[in-house]
Amino acid sequence: MSKGSEEIFKKVISHAKEYGFVFQSSEIYDGLSSVYDYGQNGVLLKNNIKNYWWRSMVQLNDNVVGIDSAIFMHPDVWRASGHIDAFNDPLIDNKDSKKRYRADVLVEEYAEKLLQKADKEVRKAALRFGDSFDAELYRETNSRVVDYLKRADSALSRFSLALNSDDLKAARQVIIDEKITCPVSGSSNWTEIRQFNLMFGTKIGSVAEGATDLFLRPETAQGIFVNFLNVFKSGRMKIPFGIAQIGKAFRNEIVARQFIFRMREFEQMEMQFFIMPGSEIKWFEHWKASRLNWHKSLGFDHENYRYHNHENLAHYANAAVDIEYKFPFGFKELEGIHSRTDFDLKQHSKYSGKKLQVFNPDKNENFTPSVIETSIGLDRMFLSILSECLEEETLEDETSRVVLRLPHALAPNQAAILPLMKKDGLPEYSKKIYDELKINFQLMFDSKDAIGKRYRRQDAIGTPLCITIDHETLNDDTVTIRDRDSMGQKRVKVADLYSIIKDLTSIERLLKKL
Ligand code: ATP
């Protein structure tokens, strides 16, 4: 991470804590590594993100329904899904720094650096050659650029080939051959690579002898697969259709740094779309485009999103793409779209002995549907939004303010009600407005400190509107309404407040853009 990006990331983390968005779990006991709690503003923002996802997925798609399955599942689920055998990360230690890494991440970051070097060469050449510059041709012919691209490609493909064939020695050799060093010690004194299973184990039952070993689910998807027939029958569904779910997942991550980007307990928003075999590519492309559009509808810089095709396909997938977001520490996976074939349903049929098939009347036969999955980490989405929206703005009078430019519909509070002074009946009048509007909106009431200070507090937590009640209000039932982004103020009637807030902050506005 460059110094500048590190600074930005540190600011995001400290802002999240200072303003009640995210706290370290069990902080008074010195914290629990890579586990976080959401504070009073964080939980509101998180719920709004969930709402945006849920409503766009379940409410706007006629053929998608939602469920909420249990975290505990029968242990055979994880045998059938392949998690017991294959939900591993390749782990490697640097003997000098004693730091532990995911070997695949080391290689990916190495390749990413080479790609960035190639891009830099192309940008430099573009400046040198001006309008006549052909970037594509330059990529194909400039020896330095070609070399960077080749090295990146070779490292990634050698590594993924080695991992796919379970050859950990060959995988380690890629790290040695490419002279990949530890970012802390700078040395390439590496241990062997070992596979490490990421599932947390626990037990159900009161006596040790009778207890059954269980796992905390590492993804929400399996709860959907095992309920496939239940939903299909009880909802009278027709292929194609989808089942969506939001819920907690648990992974004993090896390297759990980077704040809420990689946690040991996190939340996923997943949707499994069941389709006719043979239509995988059509639906894969559909959901790939649809999900990117969902992100872009938030109105953030489109340059901060990109697709990344998987080199190393999971055991169940025949096509996979990530939507990556440019976090302060670089482009990283935010969401995955996977074509999972009929793997999951067939595996669960095999292990449970229950037929998970549907009838095709055209062909007069039963078949196992294929699945396209969209899977997004809620916490990563939260982090991408905080990183995108946090801004230190220099104002015209050379002072500065910290403002969280959240999409209006996602802001923890839609408006703040601020009596200008704590006397002359202003607080009482303000409270009346507050009580009337709080039925429809999440509001803040703040009467402490000078008004300027209160505006800044609301800017910092992203409140789109500040409503100030002053002496004029008592005479003519008007208030000042201040816009977070422009800081512009205007006088409006109290009677119009409901429609003004609704117009600006309702989630329908976001949904209409989809
Ligand atoms: P990574 O390669 O970063 O470990 P993954 O490919 O294992 O991620 P998936 O299994 O595809 O991730 O999970 C789907 C989504 O769940 C990811 O796109 C990510 O947003 C989120 N996610 C996965 N692991 C974590 C984690 N440890 N903490 C927070 N979010 C996570």
Q: Is 262 in the pocket of ligand 1 (CB under 6 A)?
A: yes
Residue 389 clears pLDDT 80, i.e. is over it: yes
Strands 64-66, 241-250: pairing is parallel
Residue 377 CA to ligand 1 center (angstroms) comes to 6
**Residue 303: exposed, middle, or buried by beta-carbon count in 10 A (0-12, 13-18, 19+)?**
exposed
Strand-pair category, 400-404 with 64-66: unpaired
Please provide the average confidence, as pLDDT, over all residues in the chain: 94
3-class SS at 510?
helix
The residue whose C-alpha atom lies closest to atom 26 belonging to ligand 1 is 262
Going from the Cα of 136 to the center of ligand 1, the distance in angstroms, rounded, reads: 33
- Taking Cα atoms as reference points, which of 376, 343, 379 lies closest to residue 270? 376
Integer Cα distance of 447 and 434 in angstroms: 12
Contact 389, 485 (CB under 8 A): no
Contacts for 334 with CB less than 8 Å, ≥ 6 apart: 295, 322, 323, 324, 325, 376, 377, 380, 381, 384
**Between 4 and 388, the higher pLDDT residue:** 388
Is 153 touching ligand 1 by the criterion CB < 6 Å? no
**Residue 251 near ligand 1, beta carbon < 6 Å:** yes
pTM for this predicted structure: 0.89
268 lines ligand 1 (CB under 6 A): yes
How many other C-beta atoms lie within 10 A of the C-beta of residue 226?
22
396 vs 348, 388, 389, 401, CA distance in Å? 63, 23, 20, 11
Torsion on CA atoms 287, 290, 291, 296, rounded to nearest 10 = 160
Cα 21 from Cα 228, distance rounded (Å) = 36
Q: 185-235 pLDDT, tens per residue? A: 999 999 999 999 999 999 888 766 667 889 999 999 999 999 999 999 999
pLDDT in tens, 465-501: 999 999 999 999 999 999 999 999 999 999 999 999 9
Per-residue pLDDT of 49-92, as tens digits, reads 999 999 999 999 999 999 999 999 999 999 999 999 889 999 99
In angstroms, what is the span from residue 255 Cα to ligand 1's centroid?
Answer: 13
Per the CB < 8 A criterion, the answer to whether 151 and 114 are in contact is yes
Q: Quick one: which H or E segment has residue 250?
A: strand 241-250
Q: Give residue 451 CA to ligand 1 midpoint distance, Å.
A: 43
- Strands 265-275 and 241-250 come out as antiparallel
Torsion sign (Cα): 291, 297, 300, 303: positive
